[in-house]
Homo-oligomer: A and B are copies of this chain.
Amino acid sequence: MQDITAPQSLPLAGWAQAVRQSTIQQLLAVATQPGMLSFALGLPAAELFPSDAYARATAHVLATQPHALQYGMPCEHLKHFIVQLMAQRGVVCSTEQVFLTTGAQQGMSLLSRLLLDCHAPVLVEETIYSGILQAVEPLQPHLLTVPSDAETGMDLDAVEALLIEGHRPAFIYAISDGHNPLGISLSLEKRQRLVELSRQYGVPILEDDAYGFLCYDDSWSLPPLRALEDDWVFYIGSFSKILAPALRVGWVIFPESLVSVLSALKEGSDINTATFSQRTIAAYLEMGQLSDHIADLRQAYGLRRDAMFHAVTTFFPSGTRCYQPRNGMFLWVELPRAVDMEVVLRIAVEQKKIAFVPGQAFSVVRNHAVDRSMRLNFSRCDPEHIMQGIAQLGELLSELV
């Protein structure tokens, strides 16, 4: 053998050398500490999980399906229920167009690898869910960004300007309802214009609709992008926010011509979506209780949203900007003056046992408005705790801002 000296450390891929633990990951450890009042993460209310019904579903599956623990084909029965769910969102699709994933996040990861060549461009908002950046990161993409207005969402003039300049991103990432972290739902005009741009320039849209079913204003509910455009929109849905995140089951509505390549990609990623979860969710859906459960969530979370919006406008420093979200789990709050949010968070956690996410955690391009912003989750805690917690946070902010 040659006389050579081995490198002292493992040679990682280039992108990996710059990665630190995500803010969200760090906060999960904090938010799950006993006694912590967490407005940080997008957690559903644990007390509202349909645990008894789900327990009956799992017992039934294990008692009656001898292959419940075996590898298996994607569950047609579950896909059939998803087609019905999608119809409630105004989306017409067939079971052949439903692709089961390990939660919505895997939908993003798979579609990123399906559409994005190494180093190619993608288009995201300047302030956006950090998970989409984590999904594309190993492909070392060129990030094209557009601003978002805190009241109306993605700046479509900026999108069009990029396309006119000749940019052709592998996809545009969009959240039409209950934007994470901004809380915005797009107007019908914006939805129509966005799919028109997609069609005209031949740029696919990844529509992340994790929060679409959690709508708190019946008269306002609008169709997702996929309802307006079949061919260019990949729709990403999930049971995490409407049933239970611990099962990791979501879906993609996609052009069925891509089933072979998407199946191969999925197989290489984790073989298949846990067939036991597929079967037990199908058994739960068979009980016919999901619509009532979603209605319960909308009522409960709607009250929590109202409580938090009221508390922020009451207890936060005057001049604080905040809009009432129509969907989802988050309130985006912009303070009137500069403040070091990392410091606010540290003091809030240590002295008040209250957690939230600093706006910077979602910023691709930093700016002053994001630096003095925070994302607050309203789904996890009941209205009383929300009032108490926001009052305490407001008190702290009044001292620091």
A contact set with B: CB distance below 8 Å: 1-2, 4, 6-7, 10-16, 19-22, 24-25, 28-29, 32, 41, 43-44, 46-47, 49, 51, 54-55, 58-59, 62-63, 66-73, 102-103, 105-106, 108-109, 113-120, 131, 133-135, 137-140, 160, 164, 168, 170, 199-202, 204, 231-232, 244-248, 255, 258-261, 263-265, 267-277, 279
The answer on a CB contact under 8 Å between B103 and A19 is no
The answer on a CB contact under 8 Å between A269 and B109 is yes
Partner of A32, one of B24, B73, B274: B73
Tell me the nearest residue of chain B to A101, going by C-beta: B270
Tell me the nearest residue of chain B to A260, going by C-beta: B21
The docked-state distance in angstroms from the alpha carbon of A270 to that of B266 is: 12
Partner of A70, one of B106, B246, B255, B274: B246
The answer on a CB contact under 8 Å between B19 and A109 is no
Partner of A264, one of B25, B29, B119, B139: B25
The answer on a CB contact under 8 Å between B277 and A25 is no
The docked-state distance in angstroms from the alpha carbon of A114 to that of B134 is: 12
The answer on a CB contact under 8 Å between A69 and B138 is no
The answer on a CB contact under 8 Å between A21 and B138 is no
User: What residues on B are CB-neighbors of A264 within 8 Å?
Assistant: 19-22, 25, 134, 137
In the complex, what's the smallest C-beta–C-beta distance from A50 to chain B, in angstroms?
A: 9
* Chain A facing B: main interface SS: helix
The answer on a CB contact under 8 Å between B131 and A6 is no
The answer on a CB contact under 8 Å between A271 and B103 is yes
Known pairs A105-B271, A131-B268, A270-B270 / 12 extra A-B pairs, C-beta < 8 Å: A6-B201, A16-B114, A28-B71, A58-B58, A102-B248, A109-B269, A113-B138, A134-B264, A248-B270, A248-B272, A269-B269, A276-B277
The answer on a CB contact under 8 Å between B72 and A246 is yes
Known contacts A62-B51, A131-B267, A135-B269; A115/B246 CB under 8 A: no
Known contacts A4-B201, A71-B41, A118-B119; A265/B134 CB under 8 A: yes
Known contacts A63-B55, A71-B28; A274/B260 CB under 8 A: no
User: What residues on B are CB-neighbors of A259 within 8 Å?
Assistant: 21
In the complex, what's the smallest C-beta–C-beta distance from A93 to chain B, in angstroms?
A: 16
Partner of A260, one of B19, B32, B268: B19
Interface centre among A4, A70, A270 (most CB of B within 10 A): A270
The answer on a CB contact under 8 Å between B66 and A47 is yes
